[in-house]
Amino acid sequence: MESPFYVTTPIYYVNDEPHLGHAYTTILADVLARYARLRGQETFFLTGTDEHGQKVQQAAEERGISPQAHADATVVRFQNAWEHLHVAYDDFIRTTQPRHIHVVEAILEDMWHRGEIYLGEYEGWYCVPDERFWTEKDLVEGNCPDCGRPVERIVEHNYFFRMSRYQNWLIAYITEHPDFIQPEVRRNEVLGFLRQPLGDLCISRPASRLSWGIPLPFDPDYVTYVWFDALINYVTAAGYRSDPVRFERLWPHTLHLIGKDILTTHAVYWPTMLYAAGLPMPKTIFAHGWWVMRGAKMSKSRGNVVKPLDLAEVYGVDAFRYFLMRDMVLGRDADFDEARLLQRYQSDLADDLGNLLHRLVNMTGRYCEGRIPTPAEFGVEEVALSRRCQPLAAETLRRVEALAVNEALGGVMDVVREINGYLERTAPWKEAKAGRMERVATILYTAIEALRLTSVLLHPVLPERMAELWQRLGWRAPDPLRDGLAWGVIEPGTAVLSGPPLFPKDMEA
Ligand code: MSP
């Protein structure tokens, strides 16, 4: 039995408008989940929204409505965006749901009773828009080091989690589990951070200043710090305290996908919180790079934000997904360049893939009465192409498992180009002219079967376009889809359908 696969995205601030950064992580999680399902693994893909905190409270006040009503009205932007981008999550968690609030309360209560939490005094520089305290040395010219805006000096009583206790444990755990924090550059960053003494974590905010949060069960004058609340979403949705059997089965196989800017919260706060709560660790925390524009991080304040839905509108959702997956080496930053998107679209999708389908359907129409032909004897070329195809599924799934999605796609697209090369060399149109129809049948069958196989491997990235391709080939994809990963699956005799190009070239007009 394959182990289960549990993948999470960060839960997004419900106030934000979905942008390229959100779309990237979410599409990546979707693609990994779809490959895992293809592999036959039990798969659970979670995304959601982070709905407590100052920003939501402020935005609601400005609109003159309750924070919950504000969250209810804005969460749909994310839900609609994911639906539009063909994201098939299994669960969407909102931190304002009772199922989540119960788990946060239970964990707080338990940690309080076991002395993991104490009342102390907090003094620091607070950035209101970022909802974060900074120390004196963090500040850049007296301003927030993250957003550059002015900070306020605040002294108050607060509750603290004894995080400092677990510094040595965490260093040892990270060192002994090389897969825990990936890629290596991020692991080293965390280990570097842990060379400084680790303080305790302030996990409360006075309700007088911030009321929109989960009240501490042992002191209702305080609400839970948003990050302490938000991180717990991952165990809530996996069934912690509601379905212990499922939780035990899934949790050790968790992959948290995050952006590199939220590394400390996920790689330091979260593991120590789990450890203090007596819970096992997730398998991997993977921090991907940023999409940048000419070297600068996309952000609202810089005015260089790419709106994913606008681009998907122009190029089609699947092509947009393909570009994001093909052009980012996981872990590194990638420059978002629309000219590159266009180039990928035209060469990989329109020319290599779309055109191949078009040619095969046309030739099947012309030479084989529009039906998939029955092959005669395989020649050297057919044997070579089928040998190239047979290990492709295992190779692709292995690359995806190693989180090298761009390489996996590169490998499949190489085979698509090889099918084109095979057609050029075997030239079925010449064979037809010479009246060698058995040869035509063998060539078309082989090329169609090879294309069908590559299409199953591209389906996690291009789900809607590949379903369309199957229709054109008259192929009814089996359930489970993995049965379509074998060679020799397509049935001779089925009618093919002609239609408009899969990836039209005049879309930018
Ligand atoms: N609510 C927190 C996460 C809590 S998880 C327990 C949060 N939300 S967020 O809405 O700001 O989403 C942040 C996610 O989007 C991060 O993973 C971040 O790295 C990602 N991105 C934001 N801008 C990005 C790019 N320009 N490129 C790639 N991803 C980036 O943080």
Q: What is the pLDDT of residues 389-415, one digit of tens each?
A: 999 999 999 999 999 999 999 999 999
Instruction: Give the pocket of ligand 1 (CB within 6 Å).
Output: 10-13, 16, 21-22, 24-25, 50, 230-231, 258-259, 261-262, 290-291, 297-298
Task: Output the CA 22–ligand 1 centroid distance in Å.
Answer: 6
Q: For a pocket test of ligand 1, which of 7, 9, 25 has the largest count of ligand atoms closer than 8 A to its C-beta?
A: 25
Query: Nearest-CA neighbor of 391 among 365, 412, 376, 416?
Result: 412
Q: How close is the Cα of 466 to the center of ligand 1, in Å?
A: 30
Condensed to tens digits (0 to 9), the pLDDT of residues 186-203 reads 999 999 999 999 999 999
Q: Atom of ligand 1 at shortest distance to CA of 13?
A: 10
**Cα-Cα-Cα-Cα dihedral sign, residues 465, 467, 473, 477:** positive
pLDDT at 122: 86
Protein residue with least CA distance to atom 5, ligand 1: 10
Ligand 1 centre from 64 Cα, in Å?
A: 27
Q: What is the rounded distance in angstroms from the CA atom of residue 26 to the CA atom of residue 258?
A: 10
pLDDT at 509: 41
CA 297 to ligand 1 centroid distance, Å: 12
CA of 12 to the centre of ligand 1 (A): 7
- For residues 376 and 509, give the distance between their C-alpha atoms in angstroms, rounded to a whole number: 45
Q: What does the block give as tokens for 422?
A: 């095979």
Q: In the block, which residue shows the tokens 């093919």?
A: 496
Per-residue pLDDT tens for 254-301?
999 999 999 999 999 999 999 999 999 999 999 998 888 777 777 767
CA separation for the pair 347, 73 (Å, rounded):
41
Query: Tokens for 427?
Result: 């030239």
Whether pTM exceeds 0.75: yes
**Domains of the chain with CATH codes:** 5-288 (3.40.50.620), 338-483 (1.10.730.10)
Most informative mutation of 92, 131, 262, 323 for ligand 1 (most atoms within 8 A of CB)? 262
pLDDT lower than 70: segments of the chain: 1, 300, 304, 308, 507-509
Rg from Cα positions in the chain: 26
